[in-house]
Chain A
Amino acid sequence: MSEVTSESASTTETAEAPVRTVPAAPPARHTGRLAGPLNALAPHAKIGMVVGGVLSIVGAYLAWSTFVLNEGAYPERATLTMFVEPFGVTGFRLHITLLGLATIVVALLRVPAKHRIVRGLGVGVTAVAVLNGLWITVEGGGLGAITASDGTVAFGSIVALVGGLVTVLSATAGGLEDKPVWEWKLAWWVEWILLLVVFVLILLLVAEVLTSGGQGGVVNPYAGVVFLSLLAALAGAFAALNASGLLTWVGEVSERHRVFSVVVLLLCALALPFTGAGTEYWMTVASNIGVYAATAIGLNIVVGLAGLLDLGYVAFLGIGAFVAANLSGAAASVIGIHVPFLLVMVISAVVAGIFGAIVGSPTLRVRGDYLAIVTLAFGEIFVRSAQNNIAGLTGGANAIPNIPQVALGSFQFNQSISLGPIQLPGGVMYYVAIVLLVAAVMLVFGNLKNSRLGRAWIAIREDEDAAAAMGIRTGPIKILAFLIGAMLAGFAGAFFAHKTAVVAYDSFRFLESVTLLAAVILGGMGTIPGAVLGASILFVLPEKLREFADYRLLLFGLALVLIMRFRPQGIIADKHRKAELAEDPEDAAKEAPGALPTEVK
């Protein structure tokens, strides 16, 4: 909390100045727990950080396990018991090495906010060491697995852990500075290139994260821990970058070139099939994420903008999917006509929208928790009816199977494509279509949010009576939120039906609604990327952590509780809601001319 106050104090000091200065580090007097040791350590912070970095690297190169894991090398080529390839560590050991090197370099250089940066790196090392050490301990049947037994020693994880902790402690002792603010303005083409590089890096990272550990637990028994370890390392690096103020700066640059950024991001998303994630499996996973992300954005209109809690929202995805299934010409459909896909999408959306308006109509009389229950009841009625094969439209327990693929002429969307020498995997066309769908849905959300209608929704969320007093016809506007949200879900449903080729009532149960809601909340309510991020996390994690499949929902439930307790605003906080927690001085110096950031005093 202390950094928040000092940060805002620094704003006010410099509010009029054209260049914002980086405030000096607060005097390193620590209070509270650990005050004694930290103050004692403070004069030696630099040495401490270097030592921590060195220890981390040493740890990375030591053996990590006293036995050869019987399921094979862990991970990839780096075996744990011996030091096979000098300088050739891979996997988590490479991550630790890189983090350790960065620690040493930053510690020795004159970099603004260096203690905060180093702390981020140290946390990354610590987390990676703990995760892998724990996993080996559990797998190896006790502490002997990471210390010494049968004549072999393997102190890698312990040394790395100590290194990480020393880094964190020394950095903290050195005094955590505020995030510096960078004012660089470069020529537009330099900034374009820079953004391009950043976005391509993000693309590669996403592909790396997606594919890390292979396809779930099926191929690689270590998939879960490899994935988590990569996430931990990335989190450390991310924290460091964020502390350096560079992330904020890149964010400002991309804000300056908004259209360019959006286009490049879209292209990057479309380029995913060309990366390591370009296999049919990952295309399917990514497509599924896309379907749920689009649905979650629709829900975000209802919940995030208009503040109306909908607990039966997945029904609209279901309605869209069943409509599409029935118009697909599938053998099991009672309607048995085949309608072109583009038209099917429109019809699905319209039908879902009509149901959305019906479900939303009680908002005219019901508010708050009671409205949530009404939507839940509608959702349950939908599932029950679908389960009972109502009017023969849903197939009941038999589902509607064998829905034909979307086809462009003779080309079916699940076929693979050859682009000269490059072979793109099957399902890539679905992926492309869904990326475009998500982009379109994001555009809809963004445009609506910044319009008269969006402001009316937010006003209703904030204070419905006051909104009415401003001339907002709250009833129709709330129903419109339901209608539009449901239409977006209906669109997604049409894709869902064709992509998965089977539509069953099972996919639209209450738990799915809760998951969608969790995606919106986890990502950050009311924000555009939030829902996508939330959906990605919630649908990638189970894919990645098959080992924990049994505990998946248990952890999910606990996570909901913990998020509400500790970060109710989600990962990407809405700019409005974020301000409740910390005043971020972002607007003050946007017009400042190209100036270099001032150094730490």
Chain B
Amino acid sequence: MSESVEQPELEAPPGEVTAELAEDMQIATGTREPILESAGVSMVFGGLRALNEVTFSLKEGEIIGLIGPNGAGKTTFFNCLTGLYTPTSGSVTLRGAPMPQDPARVTEAGVARTFQNIRLFPSMTATENVLVGRHVRMKQGPVSSLLHGPRFRRSEAEAHDRAEKLLAFVGLTRFADELARNLPYGDQRRLEIARALATDPSVLLLDEPTAGMNAQETEATRQLIFAIRDLGVSVVVIEHDTKFIFTLCDRVLVLVQGELLVEGSPDEVRGDPRVVEAYLGAPPDEVEAQIHAGEES
């Protein structure tokens, strides 16, 4: 099917879709208060110290980038934030309340995530994937599931309506009834984002959302993340692609060997010699080029 399908629509989500969705989701409180905070989070595996005293704070409506060389502990930090790991010490709080230590409850509390290696439900359609994302926000007990009464139908209709809007938002309307596994790679990543957004998150954690994408798709993803911010969702992005991060984020955190090395605006981070140094293994000029690549765009 791949040859016959026209190129995906790689524009930003249309404004009216975003506006409508934002109204449905009602996430933004407009306070610019810190939402997600970590205080001195450390994680030790056996003798290995994967994270050391990481402290950060994400404000509402902010996009934060998390970069660092391989093995710097980015994904470990992510897993601490989403309740997959319990930090050895330190605390993670969401709007001041301690983060639950269970992925399902974390999602319920309003933190959604995507995975580095895409983990959709391959034998479900795109719509169904998004509907699963609605799980926590739907009110259907076992009994109403069994009887399919009017309340059930209302909640199904609402969920389908939201799924439709979300698919339109990420530009996958034409794949609504396609199985997730049959989607092109880049679209699978977008579907994962739609599925995460279906949980009405106040914070969205994206684990390498542009891995394996070409320049055009990467740009589309950037636009998409801006639109997600416009929904009122605060975003944390892990990425290798520093250019992508520097042109996307309000603030950038550099994690090296489990330590928070630098934190600041893209410009500050880009100019920091420690960051250049941190990318060991690569010749300095190449790293320089990579880091400054973002300036042109």
Given contacts A447-B146, A451-B145, A470-B133, contact A462 B140 (CB under 8 A): no
A110 CB–B CB distance under 8 Å = no
Q: How far is the CB of A11 from chain B (nearest CB, A)?
A: 8
B115 CB–A CB distance under 8 Å = yes
Inter-subunit contact A469/B107 (CB<8 Å): yes
Inter-subunit contact A452/B108 (CB<8 Å): no
Chain A positions within 8 Å of B138 at CB level: 452
Inter-subunit contact A470/B107 (CB<8 Å): yes
Chain A positions within 8 Å of B152 at CB level: 451
Chain B positions within 8 Å of A8 at CB level: 1
Chain B residue nearest in CB terms to A449? B145
Inter-subunit contact A466/B1 (CB<8 Å): no
Inter-subunit contact A12/B136 (CB<8 Å): no
Which stretch in B118-126, B241-249, B263-271 binds the other chain?
B118-126
Which stretch in A471-479, A515-523, A557-565 binds the other chain?
A471-479
B142 CB–A CB distance under 8 Å = yes
Inter-subunit contact B119/A471 (CB<8 Å): no
Q: How far is the CB of B199 from chain A (nearest CB, A)?
A: 6
Inter-subunit contact A576/B124 (CB<8 Å): yes
Inter-subunit contact A466/B119 (CB<8 Å): yes
Inter-subunit contact B142/A480 (CB<8 Å): yes
Chain A residue nearest in CB terms to B4? A12
Chain B positions within 8 Å of A458 at CB level: 121, 123-124, 128, 132
Inter-subunit contact B123/A455 (CB<8 Å): no
B179 CB–A CB distance under 8 Å = yes
Question: Which residue of the partner chain, among B104, B140, B148, contacts A474 with CB atoms under 8 Å?
Answer: B104
Interface string of B159-183 (1 = CB under 8 A from A): 1000000000000000001010110
Inter-subunit contact A462/B1 (CB<8 Å): no
Size band of the A side of the interface? 35 or more
Chain A positions within 8 Å of B102 at CB level: 468
Inter-subunit contact B115/A454 (CB<8 Å): no
Most chain A Cβ neighbours within 10 Å, of B142, B155, B156, B181 = B142
Inter-subunit contact B124/A453 (CB<8 Å): no
Chain B positions within 8 Å of A580 at CB level: 123, 181
State in angstroms the CA–CA spacing of A456 and B3 once bound together.
33
Chain A positions within 8 Å of B104 at CB level: 468-474
B147 CB–A CB distance under 8 Å = yes
B92 CB–A CB distance under 8 Å = no
Q: How far is the CB of B184 from chain A (nearest CB, A)?
A: 15
A150 CB–B CB distance under 8 Å = no
State in angstroms the CA–CA spacing of A490 and B199 once bound together.
36
Chain B positions within 8 Å of A444 at CB level: 146
Chain A residue nearest in CB terms to B128? A455
Chain B residue nearest in CB terms to A463? B119
Inter-subunit contact A452/B120 (CB<8 Å): no
State in angstroms the CA–CA spacing of A342 and B134 once bound together.
38
Q: A424-449: which residues lie under 8 A (CB-CB) from chain B? A: 444, 447-448
Given contacts A447-B148, A576-B179, contact A455 B135 (CB under 8 A): yes
Inter-subunit contact A583/B199 (CB<8 Å): no
State in angstroms the CA–CA spacing of A467 and B195 once bound together.
11
Given contacts A451-B152, A465-B119, A583-B1, contact A470 B145 (CB under 8 A): no
Nearest 5 pairs of A and B residues by beta carbon: A471-B136, A12-B4, A471-B107, A451-B145, A462-B121
Q: Could you tell me which B residues sit within 8 Å of A by CB distance? A: 1, 3-5, 82, 102-105, 107-108, 112-113, 115, 119-125, 128, 131-136, 138, 140, 142, 144-148, 152, 155-156, 159, 177, 179, 181-182, 195, 199
List 10 interface pairs A-B (beta carbons < 8 Å), by A numbering: A447-B146, A451-B140, A453-B142, A453-B145, A455-B132, A463-B119, A470-B135, A471-B108, A472-B132, A473-B105
| Given A451-B148, A463-B120: 11 more A-B contacts, CB < 8 Å | A11-B1, A12-B3, A12-B4, A12-B5, A451-B144, A452-B155, A453-B145, A455-B135, A470-B133, A576-B179, A580-B181
